[in-house]
Chain A
Amino acid sequence: MALKLDYMVRETGTNLFRNLSLTIASILTVAVSLSLVGGSVLLRYSVDNATQQWQGGIEFIVFMQPEATQAQSDAVERQLTESTQVERFEYFDQERTFEEFKDLFQNTPQIVESVTPDILPPSFRVVPVDKSAETIESLRSVFVTQPGVREVVAAFDSIRTIRNLSNLIGVGLMVVAGFLLLAATLLILNSIRMAMFARRREIEVMKLVGASNWFIRIPFMLEGVFQGLIGSGFAIGVVFGVQRVFDNIAADQRFSLFSGLVVDNQQVMTTSVFVMVTGVLIGALGSAFAVSRFLDV
């Protein structure tokens, strides 16, 4: 078995170098396409983070005073329930608000430490039936005057713009990435096919003396997987780079609009693993196709 293992490694290595230019082309294509995939996943994460309070159609939030009485709170709740313009709403008590707060500011623990649940305002997250600016404005004016209400915040146009723009960019990146991934798979397929052609005499002899089918296939499969893996390595570097850029933008006061565009380490790790798995899959897919189509063992 030891002999087999070092045979496999040797063969895969020789193949990669024999075909250097095509190998580099495949690796670069994988790298570029997966960078786009990783970038768009991160963008999606960061926009979700930035607009966390505004998901699921929530268009405005009624913040209560932290010291508002239960009766005041009940009155607002009743009014929301009765209003025909409100589709549904959700109540965030102080504990839940604190959890969300910790989430939003997890990269700056000193802020989280300075806050306790009882100073945070409980709130109603409201989904209106009609999302037009006039409706929201009229609802706002009703609730802002209620006793115990601290303020009513409506989803800003800027948030909507960010959301729409990021959706657009995300879809665009994914489409381009999709085509590039297809190109990468085909390039890997072709480089494996070239490798098999270069070694056709050896393959013929191997079949003749009774090398098992997998023994012949595996070095070629490994070659494809390796190309995918190296390509995804580059892409993971890019993913970490994008996180840096987001952090820098977030820290820069001039771009306050984007201050929420941060991704946490967990999300970067998830994205990296996703990118790596995709790279390996592409390599395996391209080489598996080449092997099954052209090796005939």
Chain B
Amino acid sequence: MIKLENVTKTYKGDVPALRNADVEIAKGEFVFLVGASGSGKSTFLRLVNREERPEQGRIFVAGKDILELSSWKVPYLRRNIGSVFQDFKLLTGKTVYENVAFALEVIGRPKHVVKTQVPAILELVGLGGKMDSFPHELSGGEQQRVSVARAFVNRPLILLADEPTGNLDPATSVGIMRLLDRINRTGTTVLMATHDRSIVDTMRRRVIELDRGAIVRDQHRGVYE
């Protein structure tokens, strides 16, 4: 599903954020990216949905070399990739329902699809009763659920999560992880960057560890360190 071949990415004049990375992730896998701040986890994720381009190497998503894509086709790549962030990135002026509906509206989905899909996904993440609330009326965990709903409402092949539990307390984090696990079981490939030792140790999934841009460990059913 995702394949990096000898990928190197350097930000202007700095040490490489990613160095000669070779990784292959199969469809339906759940992968943790771990490592210290600045080790290249976020860069890895940003390369997969082509927010960044590497200086060297090739990146395949769903069998296609995404570096060959012309820029007008990049949005169509991103429709197959959902993204979740530490800071949720919700639109504060829109309700929970509108935030999720927005993701479908801006890719031109017809109204009847929006009307059926949005309540269904909000039900799935456990927010069926809060569709008309605004983000500031929700707890952090609930806001992250909205953001997961928005990322997943279009049923993407891949879900990228950049420290999704970074702003949440441990109990709430467990809830979010259950949700991501559930999404993974539907066949969606999940790639999650995290610092959260207990989550990684509990879930026992594939772990890729980065150190200053280099992949130093790639372990199935791994632990944090």
Chain A proximity mask over B191-210: 1 for CB below 8 Å, otherwise 0:
00000000000000000000
Nearest CB in chain B: distance from A2 CB, A:
8
Query: Which residues does chain A contribute within 8 Å of B76, judged by CB atoms?
Result: 210, 212
Q: Which of B22-30, B103-111, B136-144, B179-187 participates in binding chain A?
A: B103-111
The A166-219 residues at the B interface (CB cut-off 8 A) are: 201-202, 204-213, 215-216
- The answer to the question of A3 belonging to the interface, with a C-beta cut-off of 8 Å to chain B, is yes
| Total A-B residue contacts, Cβ distance less than 8 Å | 60
Query: Which residues does chain B contribute within 8 Å of A254, judged by CB atoms?
Result: none
Asked whether A209 lies within 8 Å of B89 as measured between CB atoms, the reply is no
Asked whether B150 lies within 8 Å of A201 as measured between CB atoms, the reply is no
Nearest CB in chain A: distance from B155 CB, A:
12
Q: Name B106's contact: one of A1, A201, A206 (CB within 8 Å).
A: A206
Asked whether B110 lies within 8 Å of A3 as measured between CB atoms, the reply is yes
Nearest CB in chain B: distance from A289 CB, A:
18
Given contacts A3-B110, A213-B71, contact A207 B78 (CB under 8 A): yes
Asked whether A209 lies within 8 Å of B71 as measured between CB atoms, the reply is no
Asked whether A209 lies within 8 Å of B107 as measured between CB atoms, the reply is yes
Asked whether A209 lies within 8 Å of B108 as measured between CB atoms, the reply is no
The A201-243 residues at the B interface (CB cut-off 8 A) are: 201-202, 204-213, 215-216
Closest partner residue, chain B, to A1 (CB atom) = B108
Given contacts A204-B89, A209-B150, A215-B106, contact A3 B72 (CB under 8 A): no
Interface centre among A1, A204, A208, A211 (most CB of B within 10 A): A208
Query: Which residues does chain A contribute within 8 Å of B75, judged by CB atoms?
Result: 207, 210-213
Chain A proximity mask over B97-115: 1 for CB below 8 Å, otherwise 0:
0000011011111110000
Asked whether B106 lies within 8 Å of A211 as measured between CB atoms, the reply is yes
Asked whether B107 lies within 8 Å of A210 as measured between CB atoms, the reply is yes
Closest partner residue, chain B, to A199 (CB atom) = B91
Query: Which residues does chain B contribute within 8 Å of A207, judged by CB atoms?
Result: 75, 78
Asked whether A208 lies within 8 Å of B89 as measured between CB atoms, the reply is yes
Query: Which residues does chain B contribute within 8 Å of A3, judged by CB atoms?
Result: 105, 108-111
Asked whether A211 lies within 8 Å of B107 as measured between CB atoms, the reply is yes
Closest partner residue, chain B, to A201 (CB atom) = B91
Asked whether B79 lies within 8 Å of A210 as measured between CB atoms, the reply is yes
Alpha-carbon gap, A202 to B106, bound state (A): 10
Q: Classify chain A: how many residues form its interface, as a range.
A: 10 to 19
Q: Name B102's contact: one of A1, A4, A205 (CB within 8 Å).
A: A205
Nearest CB in chain B: distance from A291 CB, A:
14
The B47-90 residues at the A interface (CB cut-off 8 A) are: 71-72, 75-83, 89
Asked whether B78 lies within 8 Å of A210 as measured between CB atoms, the reply is yes
Query: Which residues does chain A contribute within 8 Å of B188, judged by CB atoms?
Result: none
Query: Which residues does chain A contribute within 8 Å of B108, judged by CB atoms?
Result: 1, 3-4, 212, 215
Nearest CB in chain A: distance from B56 CB, A:
23
Chain A proximity mask over B128-148: 1 for CB below 8 Å, otherwise 0:
000000000000000000000
Interface centre among A1, A212, A215 (most CB of B within 10 A): A212
Query: Which residues does chain B contribute within 8 Å of A210, judged by CB atoms?
Result: 75-81, 107, 154
Interface centre among B76, B80, B106 (most CB of A within 10 A): B106
- The answer to the question of A7 belonging to the interface, with a C-beta cut-off of 8 Å to chain B, is yes
Nearest CB in chain A: distance from B115 CB, A:
11
The A54-112 residues at the B interface (CB cut-off 8 A) are: none
Query: Which residues does chain B contribute within 8 Å of A202, judged by CB atoms?
Result: 91, 102
Asked whether B154 lies within 8 Å of A209 as measured between CB atoms, the reply is yes
Chain B proximity mask over A1-30: 1 for CB below 8 Å, otherwise 0:
101100100000000000000000000000
Q: Name B79's contact: one of A7, A201, A205, A209 (CB within 8 Å).
A: A209
Query: Which residues does chain B contribute within 8 Å of A213, judged by CB atoms?
Result: 71-72, 75
Nearest CB in chain B: distance from A297 CB, A:
8
Asked whether B91 lies within 8 Å of A209 as measured between CB atoms, the reply is no
Q: Name B89's contact: one of A205, A215, A216 (CB within 8 Å).
A: A205
Query: Which residues does chain B contribute within 8 Å of A204, judged by CB atoms?
Result: 89
Query: Which residues does chain B contribute within 8 Å of A206, judged by CB atoms?
Result: 106
Query: Which residues does chain A contribute within 8 Å of B103, judged by CB atoms?
Result: 205, 209
Query: Which residues does chain B contribute within 8 Å of A1, judged by CB atoms?
Result: 108
Query: Which residues does chain B contribute within 8 Å of A7, judged by CB atoms?
Result: 105-106
Nearest CB in chain A: distance from B84 CB, A:
10
Counting from the closest, the 8 A-B pairs by CB-CB distance are A210-B79, A210-B78, A211-B106, A209-B103, A210-B75, A212-B75, A206-B106, A208-B83
A/B interface sample: 21 pairs, CB < 8 A: A3-B105, A3-B109, A4-B108, A7-B105, A202-B102, A204-B89, A205-B91, A205-B102, A207-B75, A209-B78, A209-B102, A209-B154, A210-B80, A210-B81, A210-B154, A212-B75, A212-B107, A212-B108, A213-B71, A213-B72, A215-B106
Q: Residues of B at under 8 Å CB distance from A?
A: 71-72, 75-83, 89, 91-92, 102-103, 105-111, 150-151, 154
Given A202-B91, A205-B102, A207-B78, 4 other A-B residues pairs in contact with their CB atoms under 8 A: A3-B109, A7-B106, A207-B75, A209-B107
